[in-house]
């Protein structure tokens, strides 16, 4: 039982490059979330998926897209990376929208 897994752990991109961050959970959770963590700002919600087949914007969605591939997997795509997207990205999941969220280990992204 791995919980929430994220790949890659670390990535360096050049401005304008694209990439997809992968997230998977094996807890049969319905809701999944993507956050970014910047120094001194806590975690901010980028996108979330309340259930399979639905996605919604969070607090800071600009420059990102998401796909809820199936119940287990929720990916985050940067179409044209910018230095302002340098951050640590966390995926989280929860059984229902009002229960405790459990987080993956994070992906450190550096955009040059």
Partner 1 sequence: AQKITQTQPGMFVQEKEAVTLDCTYDTSDQSYGLFWYKQPSSGEMIFLIYQGSYDEQNATEGRYSLNFQKARKSANLVISASQLGDSAMYFCAMRPFSAGGTSYGKLTFGQGTILTVHP
Q: 64 vs 90, which CB is nearer to partner 1?
A: 90
Q: Which residue has the tokens 């980028």?
A: 46
Query: 10-13 and 107-111 as β-strands: parallel, antiparallel, unpaired?
Result: parallel
Is the bond into 8 cis (omega within 30 degrees of 0)? yes
Opening angle at CA 78, ends 76 and 82, nearest 5: 140
State yes or no: residue 53 binds partner 1 (CB under 8 A): no
Bridge partners (DSSP) listed for residue 83: none
Instruction: Name the nearest CA neighbour of 75 among 83, 65, 67.
Output: 67
Q: Which residue of 13, 24, 33, 81 would you call a contact of partner 1, by CB under 8 A?
A: 33
**In the complex, what is the shortest distance from the CB of residue 15 to partner 1, in angstroms, rounded to a whole number?**
25
State yes or no: residue 92 binds partner 1 (CB under 8 A): yes
Q: Which residue of 5, 52, 55, 58 would you call a contact of partner 1, by CB under 8 A?
A: 58
Q: 9 vs 14, which CB is nearer to partner 1?
A: 9
Residues at the site binding partner 1, with contacts judged by CB under 8 A: 31, 33, 40-45, 48, 50, 58, 88, 90, 92, 97-98, 100-103, 105-106, 108
């Amino acid at each position: 039982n791995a919980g929430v897994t994220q790949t890659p752990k670390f990535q360096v991109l050049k401005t304008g490059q694209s990439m997809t961050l992968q997230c998977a959970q094996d807890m049969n959770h319905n809701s999944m979330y993507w956050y970014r963590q910047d120094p001194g700002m806590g975690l901010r919600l980028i996108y979330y998926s309340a259930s399979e087949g639905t996605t919604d914007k969070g607090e800071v969605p600009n420059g990102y897209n998401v796909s809820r591939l199936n119940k287990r997997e929720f990916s985050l795509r940067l179409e044209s990376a910018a230095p302002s997207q340098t951050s640590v990205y966390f995926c989280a999941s929860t059984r229902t929208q009002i229960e405790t969220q459990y987080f993956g280990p994070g992906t450190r992204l550096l955009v040059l």
